[in-house]
Amino acid sequence: MSTINLPTFVDVSAAAERIKGYANRTPVIISRTVNEELDAEVFFKCESFQRMGAFKFRGAFNALSKFDDRKRRAGVVAFSSGNHAQAIALSAKLLGMPATIVMPHDAPASKVAATKGYGGNVVIYDRYKEDRELIGRDLAEKHGLTLIPPYDHPDVIAGQGTAAKELFEEVGALDALFVPLGGGGLLSGSALSTRALSPGCKLYGVEPEAGNDGQQSFRSGAIVHIDTPETIADGAQTQHLGSYTFPVIRRDVDDVLTATDKQLVECMAFAASRMKLVIEPTGCLGFAAARQMKPQLHGKRVGILLSGGNVDIKRFCSLLAAL
Ligand SMILES: *Cc1c(COP(=O)(O)O)cnc(C)c1O
């Protein structure tokens, strides 16, 4: 068995230097209503205001900016229909390299358009007949492209960790931090920053209840695979944690919690009406879990990472209308 080198906080700090001037330093927002509701001091780190609308720009840009000249000339390939696709396409454009994004034939037209708008070369595959990993690897081999996965990569993890790093630098140590969890890039990166900058802080990853593979993996000690879960949290419809993300999560995270789709929509409605924030369903996972933990948070300093705001506005309206 080969051993892997897990990323550390040194890598997060290096990533912070690389993304400086390209990524937004996103705002931290407080809401007196939330503080009163939870009887706590709550700080929201708003990655919905990151470039392309989610934290994924951080990891993508960090990974691509480490390419040598040969890799830059050939370009990057990614397979994603979500925020990772846009993050890779935009980062590649800013760094002047070609990007190929492999997307399923039934990807929302708005996402395809957004990716093309950032200059990405979109390759469509049939979700039911073709294997996207094979297509990605084939393209990588034929054209010398470098494949960057959405979460299981040390440079992606280090980049994602810069959001929590900024939060601790801005507000100081916290008692608890709530972070959305899909494949674990954001959570493992946040863990590196938390253990370095606020070691006593309780760190919670939060998944959709319908797809709690991360919770099962965390509690059992081995990576659990599940079928694609049915949830409105499309950024967390992952089937398993990764070989880099899982060991960091297992070592540095205090627990993995879950939230229901209904709780996510309630948080979306609250954020919109009381805080004037448009947050996508996945982005509300941490907020939803914190609201369930009110008794434990009494009098505490609490961070909530709002991971993204990319939701089609008509879908946003219909989710809220169905409450
Ligand atoms: C990708 C994504 C997540 C999950 O991140 P992982 O690194 O896969 O755990 C959470 N929220 C949003 C908005 C995302 O785009």
User: Phi and psi at residue 104, in whole multiples of 5°?
Assistant: -70, 155
* pLDDT of 141 over the 60 cut: yes
Dist CA 258 CA 292 (whole Å): 10
Between 31 and 131, residue with greater pLDDT: 31
Dist CA 231 CA 217 (whole Å): 19
Dist CA 39 CA 114 (whole Å): 40
Residue in the structure block whose two tokens are 């708003």: 46
Q: What does the block give as tokens for 189?
A: 């990166």
Instruction: Tell me the mean pLDDT in the region 60-76.
Output: 97
Q: Is the CB of 308 under 6 A from ligand 1?
A: yes
Band (133; pLDDT cuts 50, 70, 90) = confident
Band (105; pLDDT cuts 50, 70, 90) = confident
Number of H helices, E strands in the chain: 15, 10
Dist CA 68 CA 302 (whole Å): 40
Band (2; pLDDT cuts 50, 70, 90) = low
State which of 84, 90, 151, 186 you would mutate to test the pocket of ligand 1, scoring each by most atoms of that ligand within 8 A of its C-beta: 186
Atom of ligand 1 nearest to the CA of 282: 11
The residues carrying an active-site annotation are 56, 81
Dist CA 82 CA 86 (whole Å): 7
Q: Would you state the pLDDT for residue 72?
A: 97
Dist CA 107 CA 176 (whole Å): 36
* pLDDT of 1 over the 60 cut: no
Instruction: Tell me the mean pLDDT in the region 275-284.
Output: 98
* pLDDT of 272 over the 90 cut: yes
Band (318; pLDDT cuts 50, 70, 90) = very high
Dist CA 141 CA 98 (whole Å): 15
Contact 323, 269 (CB under 8 A): yes
* pLDDT of 234 over the 60 cut: yes
* pLDDT of 181 over the 60 cut: yes
Q: Is the CB of 151 under 6 A from ligand 1?
A: yes
Mean predicted lDDT score pLDDT of the chain:
95
Span of 2-6, 85-89, 170-174, 272-276 with lowest mean pLDDT:
2-6
Contact 139, 102 (CB under 8 A): yes
Q: Is the CB of 280 under 6 A from ligand 1?
A: yes
Q: What does the block give as tokens for 168?
A: 């601790």
User: Phi and psi at residue 118, in whole multiples of 5°?
Assistant: -85, 5
Sequence-distant (6+) residues with CB within 8 A of 273 are none
Q: Tell me 182's DSSP state.
A: S
Q: What is the pLDDT of residues 4-40, one digit of tens each?
A: 899 999 999 999 999 999 999 999 999 999 999 999 9
